[in-house]
Amino acid sequence: FAPGGAEVEEVSIGKEMRIFNNMRYIMVHSLTTDYAIVKGHVADTLGNVIFNKTALNFNSDMCKASKRAIVEVEEIVPAGELDPHHIQCPHIYVQRLVKGTNYVKPIEQYTIRKDGEDASESEYFKTESGKIRAKIAKRAAQFVQDKNYINLGIGIPVLITNFLDPKLEVHFQSENGILGLGEFPYEHEVDPDLINAGKQVVTIKKGGSFMTSSETFAMIRGGHIDITFLGGMQVSEKGDLANWIIPGKVVKGMGGAMDLVGGAKRRIVVMQHCTKNGRPKILRECSLPLTGNKC
């Protein structure tokens, strides 16, 4: 994009498209780097690394994709002290270790509930914007059926966990590395290393698990997700979805939505009907670049 983001300055070369099992795929070269600088939790002197909860995300993948990985950890122990079953990044991928001090772990979205308060009664839902989002999330929760595996996109979709019928057994997945995403935590449960894809502090349900972000996308691309709830910037009358790039804004690209519109069995867009400026987001034709057509 040109400065200011109003015009396209350079158009990239189109990528090759192939069809596998009647599905269209874009062929993309894997990304590699000279260096990866990542944050771990505990390492041994050989360089084996364990990450803490959702802080695993893409970190181990980045080590594998780089020529030299530098991992900062909170503790270094002698080789042999880590349980081999718990090692998430083998030392062959790690070239340097750094032990940091005085860690500060900022929390971008401090979404907590008070003791004795139901998750749906969080302070977050008592603001004007929170009330609107809560109403939409509560309605979207009614689409959920027993035993569903569900992915929640950034924004309103991640709020749906707070409005579920308690009789349902459902499993929420978040692209940053959770299967078994829970509700907002009480203050004493807050952990900066346990967040959802929207950067909000969360909990994990009994039987839940943590994994790499690449593993979560394998679940999506493999057709294992029953429903995905996505945010949207525009939706057309044909079901086209645009929730793509806005230059200069926080969400700088398509992200996992590209995989979700193609891999999930059912796709539900959860958004407000108008922009902050009052412009409609449900249109005859989308004017923004499409994430997926006829979703």
47: in domain: yes
pLDDT at residue 250 above 60?
no
5: in domain: no
How do residues 271-286 score in pLDDT, each as one tens digit? 999 888 899 999 999 9
Residue 183 and residue 77 in one domain: no
Are the C-beta atoms of residues 186 and 115 closer than 8 Å to each other?
A: yes
| Interatomic CA distance for residues 52 and 274, integer angstroms | 39
125: in domain: yes
Q: What H or E segment, with its residue span, contains residue 140?
A: helix 128-140
Residue 277 and residue 227 in one domain: yes
Residue with more model confidence, 6 or 48: 48
Residue with structure tokens 């996109």?
Answer: 153
**Alpha carbon 209 to chain centroid distance?**
15
In 3D space, the residue among 212, 164, 244 whose CA is nearest the CA of residue 60 turns out to be: 212
Residue 90 and residue 193 in one domain: no
Single residue among 67, 99, 131 that ends a domain in this structure: 99
Residue with structure tokens 């772990």?
Answer: 105
Average pLDDT, the chain: 88
Which residues carry out catalysis?
Answer: 175
How do residues 16-36 score in pLDDT, each as one tens digit? 999 988 888 888 888 999 999
Alpha carbon of 198 to those of 20, 49, 77, 90: distances in Å? 32, 26, 33, 29
Least confident of 84-93, 223-232, 255-264, 268-277: 255-264
How do residues 96-141 score in pLDDT, each as one tens digit? 999 988 888 888 888 887 776 666 666 667 777 888 888 999 999 9
* pTM score: 0.81
| Residue 104 neighbours by CB distance under 10 Å | 5
245: in domain: yes
Question: Residue 231: its pLDDT value, please?
Answer: 87
Residue 62 and residue 208 in one domain: no
| Interatomic CA distance for residues 219 and 173, integer angstroms | 9
Residue 81 and residue 199 in one domain: no
Residue 73 and residue 143 in one domain: no
Question: Residue 253: its pLDDT value, please?
Answer: 64
Question: Residue 76: its pLDDT value, please?
Answer: 98
pLDDT at residue 39 above 80?
yes
Residue 156 and residue 220 in one domain: yes
pLDDT band at 294 (very low <50, low <70, confident <90, very high): confident
| Interatomic CA distance for residues 74 and 61, integer angstroms | 20
Domains identified in the chain, total number: 2
Residue 190 and residue 247 in one domain: yes
4: in domain: no
191: in domain: yes
Question: Residue 153: its pLDDT value, please?
Answer: 81
- Here the CATH number for the domain that contains residue 141 is 3.40.1080.10
Residue 178 and residue 79 in one domain: no
206: in domain: yes
Residue 156 and residue 226 in one domain: yes
Per DSSP, which regions of the chain are E strands? 17-20, 23-26, 33-39, 42-44, 49-50, 66-73, 75-77, 96-99, 149-152, 171-174, 178-181, 204-210, 227-230, 234-236, 241-242, 266-269, 282-283
Token duo for residue 59: 């970190």
Strand order in the sheet with 33-39: 33-39, 66-73, 96-99
73: in domain: yes
Alpha carbon of 137 to those of 156, 158, 163, 230: distances in Å? 6, 8, 7, 11
Task: List helix spans (H) across 201-270.
Answer: 213-221, 257-263
| Interatomic CA distance for residues 209 and 158, integer angstroms | 18
Domain boundaries, position 212: 119-283
Q: What is the biggest distance separating any 2 CA atoms in the chain, rounded to whole angstroms? A: 63
Residue 143 and residue 277 in one domain: yes
Residue 87 and residue 148 in one domain: no
- Burial code (b: 16+ CB inside 10 Å, e: under 16) for 203-238 equals bbbeeeebbbbeebbebbbeeebbbbbbbbbbbbee
